Chains A and B, each alone.
Chain A
């Protein structure tokens, strides 16, 4: 890269070789109109709006695909260019149905904005009125080909940012249509409904079923916050109007945690369950009855005083640090109990025990690498994890690595290949033999001299010296050649990331975690003092809760008399239900009715994610700040307020 000097509209400006003329214009505040250009995508020169005149060129050239050179003399707004641009707009308008008065995107449309700017008050060409299909079968998106200008931004974002390659151009010439998987309806295609195409569309061709006719961007407040969907904690921009969520956008789709998934973009808007808005107390007939808050809190205080310190606190990890800290204080100080856990606390105990066995006195979860490392990897090992259902954005990162780095994808899972169309290798260890497989792998790495010198300590080498690969083959049912191939692929990679998750943790064997860390260590897969290993965490604040020690010991095998469940808008699993059903007295703070609220003695209303703000720690340790987006529904006090009131009733002051 070297510096180049260009003359743009008579002014000398500087740029770098490798920049396009458009990029240099934009960097220097010269506004050149575009439709098919989108930051972060490759440029294709499809729309011809960014035409510029360059001295020495016979005709105007698209600035988005023209490489900057030393000494170029560029004009961006000559009379001739402005005439061409208006003409281009008129031609686009005649090609399909671009009548705004019945378009959902009117007022939020780049094509319309440009037509206004170029004062396109009439069109000099005959319209073509093609009859094109509408694809509304997807749960989330509608594609109206009649509104499409074939800029290709959706096609490029689908391949370059999401790396999903669902969208393509089908047909030729006037008959070209954006097409999913060679003409499948979007809802039946490989589309993952991340909505990146929706955000990329400059016209009204791709629209969201969940934001349809809610309101225009200009009418909404746009708030930067964090997706509460999973442990990754992607940044989101939420458009809010009149205390309603209108739309969720990616603030910058080009960054690793940028493109969002269907949860962050749509599911958060899809909520239709009725809310719990008043406290419910179990009456004499055993039915839950509505009850004023003060009276309900009296019942809770009385019940908690009865059970005393035999109380267990259990919380979702969708809540911010501030709420969790107060809950911890309430259970410890007000109830005098040390029994506290998060819904995903068992995961933590296995992960942290595994880390401890790997490296005593280590920095705990800090040994795991940032999520961004996935995108930089040239080999990804997914061990008994299901990112598609727990952390969908991780799949996008994996696909990005495969696209950009040619990453090899290896899945280890005894039951199924989690990415059947994607993975290069699927290793299927026989039931209970994942540990043997991982140890065998370490043995192959050491024996094959794939391990850099000094990495394998003598203790490990000694312990593996009598380990026979044949036995690994026998136990796992995987042929020796495949094991060797796996060792070579993983071992010879420059930056190999191991991702593990629920399937592995469900085995309750910390040694599996230790083995994974050992593999990363042996092969030098380190970034600074972190290893390229990542456990998938469910709650946006799982790590925040765990770092507070909230899940350090768990609830144990004892049978506490009382149970206080802070559920928020989370969905409880059967384990919670079992625990709750064994308690004499149980309190549930929840946003929505569920099987656990049916069991509780007292149910207190709780705000949903959008009604609370606070700080989170993402699963890779990133500190996040969530904003409150909505005023809580009438009756929903904040969980903090409830805990404080309750503490006061029980003779304590939580501040």
Chain B
């Protein structure tokens, strides 16, 4: 049987969900026989080919996040999101409590470790949105794996369900928001 093509991306996040995926340890060897990871932060391939499964970690915080989310959506048949940031907005949404300008000022001008700061402004840089959003408010999402991060065994369960031809819905006992 041909390997299932998978692409992953991370948006506004801490990369913890991808780390949790790598925590599958020896199960990764088995998995490598079944899936092919194409574009991904893990492979450092940037351009999404056509894949069966797209996976997103992180919330949509900038124009870059939105673009990546839309591109991956177009490239995949099934879009799965990992972690509370992608599912709900998560910890990234803490900044939604303040105006964007205040956040930029605090980060680039006022932070204690910044002696001569400057708020970055270049056409090449993505722009922050006023509000951070979960992925499903930007593109259609087919399945969700919440958790901060989701445990390796939960990620494994979701991938196994997909490989067996089902859209995964986490059972109550696998649900975690922390």
Using a CB–CB cutoff of 8 Å, the interface residues on chain A facing chain B are 93, 97, 99-103, 106-107, 112, 115-124, 126-127, 129, 131
- A106 contacts which of B88, B93, B131, B178 (Cβ < 8 Å)? B178
| B177-A122 in contact (CB<8A) | no
Q: How far is the CA of A99 from the CA of B169 in the complex (A)?
A: 20
Contact assessment for B145 and A100 in the assembled complex, using a CB-CB cutoff below 8 Å: no
Chain B, interface SS category: mixed
Nearest-CB distance from B78 to chain A (Å)? 15
Encode contact with A along B77-119: 1 for CB under 8 Å, 0 otherwise: 0000000100111110110111000000000000000000000
- B160-178, CB < 8 A from A: 169-173, 175-178
Assembled-state Cα–Cα distance A103/B93 (Å): 14
Minimum C-beta distance from A270 to chain B (A): 28
- On whether the beta carbons of A122 and B88 are closer than 8 Å, the reply is yes
> Which of A102, A119, A123 contacts B170 (CB under 8 A)?
A119
Contacts of B141 in A (CB 8 A): 122
Q: State whether A129 touches B169 (Cβ < 8 A).
A: no
- B: residues with CB less than 8 A from A are 84, 87-91, 93-94, 96-98, 131, 134, 136-137, 141, 144-146, 148, 169-173, 175-178
A106 contact set on B, CB distance < 8 A: 177-178
Complex: A480 Cα to B175 Cα, angstroms: 72
Residue of A nearest to B168 (CB): A121
A101 touches B178 (CB 8 A): yes
State whether B87 touches A101 (Cβ < 8 A).
no
CB distance from A74 to the nearest CB of B (A): 24
B178 — which chain A residues lie within 8 A by C-beta?
A: 100-101, 103, 106-107
Q: How far is the CA of A122 from the CA of B137 in the complex (A)?
A: 10
If A106-B177, A129-B97 touch, whether A119 touches B171 (CB-CB below 8 Å) is yes
A520 CA / B137 CA spacing, docked (Å):
72
A122 B87 Cβ-Cβ under 8 A: yes
Q: Which residue of B lies closest to A101 (CB)?
A: B148
A341 to chain B, nearest CB (A): 55
Q: Is the CB of B175 within 8 A of A115?
A: yes
Q: Find B87's partner among A118, A121, A126 (CB 8 Å cutoff).
A: A121
Q: Known interface pairs A99-B84, A106-B178, A129-B131. Does A122 touch B144 (Cβ–Cβ under 8 Å)? A: yes
Sampled A-B contacts (13; CB under 8 Å): A97-B97, A100-B178, A107-B178, A116-B177, A121-B144, A121-B145, A121-B146, A122-B88, A127-B93, A129-B93, A129-B97, A129-B131, A131-B98
Residues of chain B lying within 8 A (CB to CB) of residue A122: 87-88, 134, 136, 141, 144, 146
User: Which residues on A sit within 8 Å (CB–CB) of B131?
Assistant: 129
Central interface residue in B89, B131, B169, B178, by most chain A CB within 10 Å: B178
Q: Nearest CB to that of B175 among chain A residues?
A: A116
A101-B91, A116-B175, A119-B172 known, 16 other contacts, Cβ within 8 Å: A97-B97, A99-B93, A99-B177, A100-B178, A101-B178, A102-B94, A106-B178, A116-B173, A116-B176, A117-B172, A121-B87, A122-B136, A122-B146, A126-B137, A127-B96, A131-B97
CB distance from A362 to the nearest CB of B (A): 61
Cross-chain contact B172 with A123 (CB below 8 angstroms):
no
Complex CA–CA separation, A538 to B41 (angstroms):
67
**Contact A99 to B90, CB < 8 A, known contacts A119-B169, A122-B134:** yes
Indicate if the CB atoms of B91 and A99 lie closer than 8 Å: yes
**CB distance B84 to A101 under 8 Å?**
yes
Task: Give A121 to B142 CA distance when docked, in angstroms.
Answer: 11
In contact, B170 and A121 (Cβ under 8 angstroms): yes
Residues of A within 8 A of B136 (CB): 122, 124
- Is A101 within 8 A of B145, CB to CB? no
State the CA gap A39–B9 with chains docked (Å): 48
Contact A112/B177 with A99-B90, A99-B91 known, Cβ cut-off 8 Å = yes
Residues of A within 8 A of B88 (CB): 93, 99, 122-123
Q: Which residue of A lies closest to B146 (CB)?
A: A121
CA distance A99 to B97 in the complex (A): 13
Asked if A121 contacts B175 (CB within 8 A), the reply is: yes
A107 to chain B: which residues have CB within 8 Å? 178
A97 CB, min distance to chain B CBs, angstroms: 8
Once the chains are docked, how many angstroms separate the CA of A106 from the CA of B131?
A: 25
CB <8 Å contact, A127 and B175: no
Residue from A100, A112, A115, A124 with most neighbouring chain B CB atoms (10 Å): A100
User: A93 — which chain B residues lie within 8 A by C-beta?
Assistant: 88
CA distance A124 to B134 in the complex (A): 10
B171-A100 in contact (CB<8A): no
Shortest B10–chain A CB gap in Å is 17
Q: Is the CB of B169 within 8 A of A101?
A: no
* A125 to B, closest residue via Cβ: B137
